[in-house]
Amino acid sequence: MRLVLVRHGQTSSNISHALDTAMPGADLDEAGTAQAQELADNFEQLVGSKPSAIYVSPLQRTLQTAAPLAQKYGLEPLVREGIREVIAGDIEMSTKSEDIRTYLEAVLAWIDGDLDWQMPGGEDGWQTRARFGAVIAEALGAANEEFGPDATVVLVAHGAIIRVISATLSGDYNRELVARYPMENAATTVLEWKGEAQDWLQDRSLWQGVTWSDRPLDSYELTGGPVVPKESGLRPS
């Protein structure tokens, strides 16, 4: 089983560094629309297989990112609330550096296992994990039943939630990696399931990380030292 996590294409909120997490969210801008098409064009080269199923967050930018991919492969995107972005709560749409730091600190606290940490006016780690965990269990279970163990499931989601999902599923995505090297717009992260059981979230050793933000994991330089988290990145033009 292969799980592909896709971050949405570029939006105006990415350019302005706004914590845009509420519905419906910003549309893709011109660059983001081109990135979504490029993702569809290059998907098999990036991932190594065709998508069996596509699940997508309900925000506009993810729906628009998924559309060219779904059209290319003749798939109907399945919209799931559980993979929407980590909710910013009281700091929604803020561009202040201190608020962005607060947001990222909560995300990294959850990655470190402190699921009691709560976003101001938003969710704690338990709530966030429960909602995306339900989608992953549904998506992988359905794909395994319909397509078998070689299925490729795609989740089109957001930068922060993908950091948490990756680190929750596999020990290959450690704190330093996801903090220092945020996913770029319309990039892919690929994980492969190596187990026989179907309890997808219980054993982090059974998910092997293959890539992060379109690059092999071993291509990232990690020092093991303290790290200041970076906000989700733009794709270089």
Catalytic residues, by residue number, are 8, 85
Asked if residues 7 and 186 have their Cβ atoms less than 8 Å apart, the reply is yes
Which residues are within 8 A (CB) of 66 and not within 5 positions of it... i.e. 6 or more apart?
Answer: 6, 36, 54, 56, 77, 154, 156
**Integer angstrom CA distances of residue 172 from 80, 99, 104:** 26, 28, 20
